[in-house]
Amino acid sequence: MKRIIFCLAAALALFSCSKGNTVDPAAPTISWGANSSFALQEMGDNMDGIITVSCTSGIASLQIKCIEMPDLCKLRVSSWISTQAYKSSYTMDLLTDPALAEVFSANNIANPVGRNLIKASSCTLDFKALLDALVKDLALKNGDRFSFGIYVSNTAGTMINKLATFRWTAAATFPDNVPSTYYLRKDDTNKLELSITVPGKVDKLTISFEGEQADEGILAYVRKKSAGKGTVIDLVNDTNLETAFRLQKVEKNAAMATLKLSGLMQDLGYECGPDTITDMVITVTDALGKVSSHTIALIQATAE
């Protein structure tokens, strides 16, 4: 008898526990295939910002709340929102706001969106497209952050949310005093040195020689000595830089690249012929795929 009572008590306790912690089998899900942990994501051309909202019983509400971003971006979000109650909180309602749905549809940010989203079983959100639309024609500062709260509920009233956070890392910058023209001289004693700041860390750094009026002597000199036998010097991967061009190797993933070009300029002074302009293009690609370049026109100095 005692054993029967004990078993009944245990069953009742289990039933009570289960009832108090009922799990909705049709609860929505929010997944980010390229970033399953929803870790901080660096913004860039190579970024995969596709987030999928799924809800087998049908989506009843879907909102994206802007939690953190530069003020000018907040103003842009506010201009997209037609629901007055949501403007001050920068909350974008993808089902009920027709003006927002039009913006999202035009920029391929959400599919489906607006009335087509009502009771849909899934929605694809492209946060790269959203960020592109947000920052268009705006100047961002290195380290600017964008945080979005994603809130979805199903027809049973079960709501879940996720936080997606992005950071803008600026492309490489050249010093203000880097020249746009340089006059080549034999036995040049001028010092040409520049330090390039690379917040996103160096991936590639090259010096190429080009242009319609490029000097054939310079091009032949670079072809002969470069590792790839072309008119490009690879400062990250070439192993013969110091011997061939009197240049120092730039380390991959460096946050600063210092180029000491005086020796190279001196050597090119001997190769350069008259009446030519050779574009020396310094190009930096960072680990996020951002590209920066600066062109210095190389001209033979007039004999004094």
Residues of the chain with pLDDT under 50: 1-2, 4-20
Residue 227: give its domain's CATH number: 2.60.40
In a domain, 9, yes or no: no
In a domain, 102, yes or no: yes
DSSP line for 122-188: EEEEEHHHHHHHHHTT-PPPTT-EEEEEEEEEETT--EEEEEEEEE--PPPB--TT--SEEEE-TT-
Q: In this predicted structure, what is the pLDDT of residue 22?
A: 66
In a domain, 11, yes or no: no
227 phi/psi in degrees, rounded to 5: -65, -35
pLDDT in tens, 223-245: 999 988 899 999 999 988 999 99
Query: Which of these three, 137, 167, 197, is where a domain ends?
Result: 167
Q: Domain of residue 269: give its range.
A: 181-300
Q: In this predicted structure, what is the pLDDT of residue 303?
A: 54
Q: In this predicted structure, what is the pLDDT of residue 35?
A: 98
Q: In this predicted structure, what is the pLDDT of residue 3?
A: 52
Q: In this predicted structure, what is the pLDDT of residue 28?
A: 96
Structurally, how many domains does the chain consist of? 2
Q: In this predicted structure, what is the pLDDT of residue 45?
A: 83
Quote the mean pLDDT of the chain: 91
